[in-house]
């Protein structure tokens, strides 16, 4: 065998025999999933791709957990219901943003304290809004609906469905914000209830198409949103799970968080499009 080839071969063997550092071997890998549709400024872009130049507030905050807790997070975008199913099946370790519903306790785990939901460890809060055609007499005073003539649309799997049903109103489930707005425009539903930032984004992106659709005040509902972790992940990593939720609270109250938020809101006219 040629001497140079022999030297290279020995060098490669030596590299392969080097021990992995303690830090690298201890670095826990975590898979988190989130919605494929944009929810500016918390996460931007559509589909499966993630633009790390400007991914959104939540992703930048969760990315900070890597250095803080010596973990490695893989982010994957999924349609909402598929993401929930992956967490329930322990294919994914967690999902955001998940509002609290008792039925979802079968799917995964929320941050708790004394057997109660710990809202101090939420990621953020968001409001749902009602949308109607500008000529509709429908009104909402924060407690009751008046002049409602038909179903209210809502995205399939979203927590607002329970809120609508709690008012004794029929829900027409749709696949997306665009689908709901198109049905509202066509008069197939009387109103559309959705996360305000997500539907506002679609209306602003299609101003001419949805020029006759308006948002009703006050907000229809306001909910806290969390990182929900899978049952298996919490069972296998109880201390780390608590540390993750604790770190979210600490980061949300930190100067770093304020800087991230300011960056997105100060450039929202371009970044949220």
Is the domain of 30 the same as that of 116?
Answer: yes
Looking at the domain assignment, is residue 115 inside a domain?
Answer: yes
The pLDDT of residue 17: 52
Whether 204 and 134 map to the same domain: the answer is: yes
For residues 215 and 200, is the Cβ–Cβ distance under 8 A?
Answer: yes
The CA radius of gyration of the chain, in Å to the nearest whole number, is 23
Predicted local confidence at residue 264, as pLDDT: 85
Residue 9 located in a structural domain = no
For 14, other C-beta atoms within 10 Å of its C-beta total: 9
Give domain status of residue 19, yes or no. no
- Six token digits for residue 249: 């609270």
Q: How many domains does the chain have?
A: 2
Structure tokens at 35: 């919605």
240 plus 110 within the same structural domain: yes
**Would you state the pLDDT for residue 4?**
46
Task: For residues 198 and 28, give the distance between their C-alpha atoms in angstroms, rounded to a whole number.
Answer: 32
Note whether 44 and 86 are same-domain residues: yes
H-state helical runs in 128-176: 160-166
DSSP, collapsed to helix, strand or coil, labels residue 162 as helix
Here the CATH number for the domain that contains residue 217 is 3.40.190.10
In terms of domains, do 151 and 235 share one?
A: no
CA–CA gap between residue 244 and residue 28 (Å, rounded): 12
140 in the same domain as 262: no
3 domain-assigned: no
Does 5 map to a domain? no
Residue with tokens 């993630």: 50
Residue 13: the pLDDT is: 47
| 145-174: b (≥16 Cβ within 10 Å) or e | beebeebbbbbeebbbbebbeeeebebbeb
Domain shared by 210 and 182, yes or no: yes
- What lies within 8 Å, CB to CB, of 172 at 6+ separation is 151, 152, 153, 154, 183, 188, 189
**Do 58 and 150 fall into the same domain?**
no
Q: Is 10 among the domain residues?
A: no
What domain range is 49 assigned to?
24-124+225-271
82 and 155 both lie in a single domain: no
Q: Which two tokens stand for residue 245?
A: 């939720």
- 239/219 same-domain check: no
Q: What is the pLDDT of residue 27?
A: 85
Q: Per-residue confidence of the chain (273 residues) as pLDDT tens digits?
A: 554 444 344 444 444 454 444 444 578 999 999 999 999 999 999 999 999 999 999 999 999 999 999 999 999 999 999 999 999 999 999 999 999 999 999 999 999 999 999 999 999 999 999 999 999 999 999 999 999 999 999 999 998 999 999 999 999 999 999 999 999 999 999 999 999 989 999 999 999 999 999 999 999 999 999 999 999 999 999 999 999 999 999 999 999 999 999 888 765 544 444
Residues 133 and 199 grouped into a single domain: yes
Q: What is the pLDDT of residue 271?
A: 40
Q: Is 11 contained in some domain? A: no
Let me know how long the chain is: 273
């Amino acid at each position: 065998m040629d001497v140079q080839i022999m030297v290279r071969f020995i060098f490669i063997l030596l590299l392969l025999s080097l021990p992995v550092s303690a830090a690298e071997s201890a670095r826990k890998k975590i898979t988190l999933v989130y919605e494929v549709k944009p929810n500016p400024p918390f996460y931007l872009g559509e589909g499966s791709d993630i633009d790390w130049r400007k991914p959104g507030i939540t992703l930048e905050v969760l990315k900070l957990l890597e250095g803080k807790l010596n973990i490695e997070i893989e982010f994957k975008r999924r349609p909402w219901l598929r993401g929930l199913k992956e967490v329930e099946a322990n294919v994914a370790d967690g999902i955001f943003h998940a509002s609290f519903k008792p039925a979802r306790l079968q799917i995964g785990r929320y941050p708790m304290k004394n057997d109660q939901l710990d809202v101090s460890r939420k990621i953020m809060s968001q409001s749902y809004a009602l949308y109607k055609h500008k000529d509709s007499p429908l009104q909402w005073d924060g407690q009751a609906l008046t002049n409602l003539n038909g179903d209210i649309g809502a995205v399939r799997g979203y927590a607002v469905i329970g809120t609508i049903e709690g008012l004794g109103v029929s829900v027409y489930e749709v696949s997306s914000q665009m689908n709901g707005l198109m049905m509202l425009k066509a008069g197939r539903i009387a109103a559309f209830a959705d996360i305000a930032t997500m539907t506002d984004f679609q209306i602003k992106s299609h101003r001419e198409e949805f020029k006759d659709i308006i948002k009703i005040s006050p907000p229809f509902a306001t909910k806290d949103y969390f990182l929900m972790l899978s049952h298996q992940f919490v069972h296998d990593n109880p201390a780390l799970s608590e540390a993750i939720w604790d770190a979210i609270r600490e980061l949300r109250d930190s100067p770093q968080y304020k800087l991230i938020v300011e960056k997105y809101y100060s450039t929202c006219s371009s970044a949220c499009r």
